[in-house]
Chain A
Amino acid sequence: MAFDGMISDKNQQILAGIAHELKTPLTLISGLSSELQDPSFNAEQYQQYVQRIQFSSDRLLGLVDSILRGYELEQDMLDLHLEPVNAQLIMEEVAHELDPHARKQAQLIAVRSHHKQTILADRGCLHAILFNLLDNAIKYSNPESTIELEARLRRGQAQLVVKDYGAGIKKTELKKLFAQFGRVQRPVPQWASTTGLGLYIARQLTEAMSGSLELSRRRDGTSFLVNLQLSKQLSLFEL
Chain B
Amino acid sequence: MNRVLLIEDDAWLSELYCSALAKVSGLEVDRASSASTALEALDSSKIDLIVLDMFLGEHNGVEFLHEIASYQDTRRIPVIILSAVHKHDFGMQPDRWAHYNVVEYLYKPSTKPDQLVGAVSKQFLKDTQKVTS
For chain B, the count of residues having a C-beta within 8 Å of the partner chain is 21
B95 within 8 A of A: no
The answer on a CB contact under 8 Å between B113 and A35 is yes
- Output the least CB separation between B106 and chain A (Å): 11
For chain A, the count of residues having a C-beta within 8 Å of the partner chain is 19
- Output the least CB separation between B109 and chain A (Å): 5
B55 within 8 A of A: yes
A32 within 8 A of B: yes
How far is B55's CA from A104's CA once the two chains are assembled, in angstroms?
Answer: 17
**Which of A30, A56, A105 has a CB less than 8 Å from the CB of B11?**
A105
**Which of B55, B85, B113 has a CB less than 8 Å from the CB of A31?**
B113
Q: Chain A's interface: helix, strand, loop or mixed, by majority?
A: helix
How far is B110's CA from A167's CA once the two chains are assembled, in angstroms?
Answer: 32
Known: A52-B12, A104-B12. A34 touches B112 (CB 8 A): yes
The answer on a CB contact under 8 Å between A31 and B112 is yes
Q: Chain B's interface: helix, strand, loop or mixed, by majority?
A: helix
**Which of A20, A28, A191 has a CB less than 8 Å from the CB of B13?**
A28
The answer on a CB contact under 8 Å between A20 and B16 is no
Residue of A whose beta carbon sits closest to that of B89: A191
Residue numbers in B under 8 Å from A23 (CB-CB)? 84, 108-109
The answer on a CB contact under 8 Å between B11 and A28 is no
The answer on a CB contact under 8 Å between B112 and A24 is no
B127 within 8 A of A: no
How far is B89's CA from A56's CA once the two chains are assembled, in angstroms?
Answer: 26
Residue numbers in A under 8 Å from B112 (CB-CB)? 30-31, 34
How far is B16's CA from A26's CA once the two chains are assembled, in angstroms?
Answer: 14
Residue numbers in B under 8 Å from A191 (CB-CB)? 55, 85, 89-90
Residue of B whose beta carbon sits closest to that of A100: B12
Q: What would be 22 A-B contacts, judged by CB atoms less than 8 Å apart?
A: A20-B84, A20-B85, A23-B108, A24-B13, A24-B84, A27-B84, A27-B108, A28-B10, A28-B16, A30-B110, A31-B13, A31-B17, A31-B112, A32-B12, A32-B16, A34-B113, A34-B114, A52-B12, A104-B12, A167-B58, A190-B89, A192-B85
